[in-house]
Amino acid sequence: MQPTGHRLRDVEHHPLLAENDSYDSASSSSSEADAVDRVWFIRDSCGMVCAVMTWLLVVYADFVVTFVMLLPSKDFWYSVVNGVVFNCLAVLALSSHLRTMLTDPGAVPKGNATKEYMEGLQLKPGEVIYKCPKCCCIKPERAHHCSICKRCIRKMDHHCPWVNNCVGEKNQRFFVLFTMYIALASVHALVLCGLQFISCVRGQWTECSDFSPPITVILLVFLCLEGLLFFTFTAVMFGTQIHSICNDETEIERLKSEKPTWERRLRWEGMKSVFGGPPSLLWMNPFVGFRFRRLQAWPKKGGSEFSV
């Protein structure tokens, strides 16, 4: 754009705003500021189904562990200790899942690619800025457009249907915690299943469960399969996320082999940036920074997100 003294680079050569666009920068800025008090949620049918399935599978695992294995046990402290540990892991995992799903991953405000906005950026002559032709926004460095969220996301790693959200700059921490707690709960469930099978075989399936032997076997086998699948998936995701954080490189940047134009953080600096502050037990707490937000519908032109 010659009048503003800098260049707008747009891959699809779209104008800043079409003549028939009715974008109001003042109303948009107030809406974006108001969005801070609202909960982010993506209306994607596949993502919502996957999120509900995740919760149901965790609840199923908790049911089998509690009512099939622990309550019928004659060892009181064995039941209490394992019940408390498993349920704590389940609560932390589901809380991390909610925080990942309902946290804005770092969405760039829509429709801010206006002449007024660019003039306010005070860019140097000849400086190149990038505009997303899909959501009509000025694209920050390392931001990518998500076709499901229909927004540009800062430091977008990937879109995960199991949390019905993108994993980006603002919610990566909760996604890492979710994968970690699910992996730990899966290992715990597998160990309990192994001990339960041994106990049932030794007792000839007479007093090992309040359910009949065939039902008990079916429930335990399904839980073992679920635990193996969940552990494999979440352990791999946890490892790749930690690797990405330590290398200061998102999964999209790695797959696209993008050359870093930013100054990469050292490993611990990257961890501090994602988890916040120096290493402490607060890193493991998905409730840090949580506050109740108001429930209100958020109609947004051309978007798939709304507030609940």
For the chain, give every domain's residue range.
Answer: 45-106+158-284
**Residues that are catalytic:** 160
Q: What is the DSSP string of 249-295?
A: --HHHHHTTPPP-S-PPPHHHHHHHHH-SSSSGGGG-TTTT------
Q: Over the stretch 284-295, which tens digit does the pLDDT of each residue have? A: 999 987 776 654
* DSSP classification of residue 107: B
Return the higher-pLDDT residue of 133 and 182. Answer: 182
Tell me the mean pLDDT in the region 132-156.
87
Pair 146, 159: CB distance under 8 Å: yes
CA 72 from chain centre, in angstroms, equals: 36
pLDDT at 294: 53
What is the average pLDDT across 76-104?
95
Mean pLDDT calculated for residue range 3-14? 42
Contacts of 59 (CB under 8 A, 6+ apart): none
Q: Which residues contact 158 (CB under 8 A, 6 or more apart)?
A: 166, 167, 250, 251, 252
pLDDT at 186 over 80: yes
pLDDT classification of 210: cutoffs 50, 70, 90: confident
Give all strands (DSSP E) within the chain, no chain letters.
7-9, 40-42, 128-132, 137-139, 143-146, 151-154, 158-160, 165-167, 305-307
Check residue 271 and give its pLDDT.
87
Counting beta carbons within 10 angstroms of the beta carbon of residue 308, is it exposed (0 to 12), middle (13 to 18) or buried (19 or more)? middle
Instruction: Please report the pLDDT score of residue 61 as a whole number.
Output: 97
Q: Which of 34, 20, 19, 63 has the alpha carbon at shortest distance from 220?
A: 63
User: What confidence tens digit (pLDDT) does each residue in 217-241 have?
Assistant: 999 999 999 999 999 999 999 999 9
How far is the CA of 53 from the CAs of 49, 265, 286, in angstroms? 6, 37, 21
Q: What is the model's pTM?
A: 0.82
- Give, rounded to a whole angstrom, the gap between the first and last alpha carbons of the chain: 39
* pLDDT at residue 14, rounded to an integer: 39
pLDDT at residue 135 is higher than 50 = yes
> What band does 158 get if pLDDT is binned at 50, 70 and 90?
very high
What is the Cα–Cα distance from 215 to 207, expressed in whole angstroms? 14
Please report which helix (H) or strand (E) contains residue 221, including its range: helix 213-247
- pLDDT reported for residue 142: 84
Q: Tell me, what's the pLDDT at 54?
A: 96
Q: Tell me the mean pLDDT in the region 194-221.
A: 87
**Distance (Å, rounded) from C-alpha 45 to C-alpha 198?**
42
174-178, 199-203, 260-264 — most confident range: 174-178
- Top-confidence residue, 298 or 87: 87
